[in-house]
């Protein structure tokens, strides 16, 4: 009995994934795989083209993984702090959600989709490790600190208002006239 070599166009259960080169019996190829469009005949040209395509995809995946590892390093080096209203025992009145975490990361220059943040809503003050799934194989852990938010705005410091001394001098000049 001879065998037929095919390239799978669709994933076939217990046979292979898309792009796999498989060897099957002629009846299976003739009666099922080829008419259903799940495979094509593996000619020399198609096999060479498939190997070339696989090399290009592998190189692209390697570049993307390298970039994701760099993003992972940045995320793990960050210390993000989010303010939230809390009660006496440190329980939050609401919760810190993935959207809020994503906003803070965007402010830090790392735009991450909120759906990649794999954390339940945080409902307590303190330090939390938040997993962020960048890729199936790359998961970064963000160090998040939830601090109590003050109800009243903080008074501006002298550093924030450098013209305060100049205004005092002008007031004295006007009073003397």
The domain segmentation of the chain, as residue ranges, is: 4-66, 68-148
Q: State the pTM of this model.
A: 0.60
From the centroid of its chain, how far is CA 139? 8
Residue 171: φ, ψ to 5°: -60, -40
CATH superfamily of 68-148: Ribosomal protein L9, C-terminal domain (3.10.430.100)
pLDDT in tens, the chain (177 residues): 689 999 999 999 999 998 899 999 999 999 999 999 999 999 999 999 989 998 998 999 999 999 999 999 999 998 899 999 998 888 998 999 999 999 999 998 899 999 999 989 999 999 999 999 998 889 999 999 999 986 554 445 454 455 545 555 555 555 555
Beta bridge partners of 12: 16
Q: What is the third-level CATH fold of 4-66?
A: Ribosomal Protein L9; domain 1 (3.40.5)
Burial of 53 (0-12, 13-18, 19+ CB in 10 A): exposed
């Amino acid at each position: 009995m001879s065998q037929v070599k095919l390239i799978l166009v669709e994933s076939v259960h217990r046979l292979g994934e898309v792009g796999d080169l498989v060897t099957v019996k002629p009846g299976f190829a003739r009666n099922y795989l080829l008419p259903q469009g799940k495979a094509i005949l593996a000619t020399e040209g198609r096999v060479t083209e498939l190997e070339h395509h696989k090399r290009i995809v592998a190189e692209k995946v390697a570049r993307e993984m390298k970039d994701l590892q760099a993003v992972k390093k940045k995320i793990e080096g960050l210390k993000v702090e989010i303010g939230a209203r809390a009660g006496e025992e440190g329980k939050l009145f609401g919760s810190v959600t993935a959207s809020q975490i994503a906003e803070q990361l965007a402010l830090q220059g790392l735009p991450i989709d909120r759906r990649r943040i794999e954390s339940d809503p945080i409902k307590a003050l303190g330090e939390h490790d938040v997993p962020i799934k960048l890729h199936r194989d790359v998961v970064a852990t963000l160090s998040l600190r939830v601090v109590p938010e003050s109800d009243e705005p903080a008074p501006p410091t002298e550093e924030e208002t450098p013209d305060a001394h100049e205004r005092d001098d002008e007031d004295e000049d006007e009073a003397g006239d």
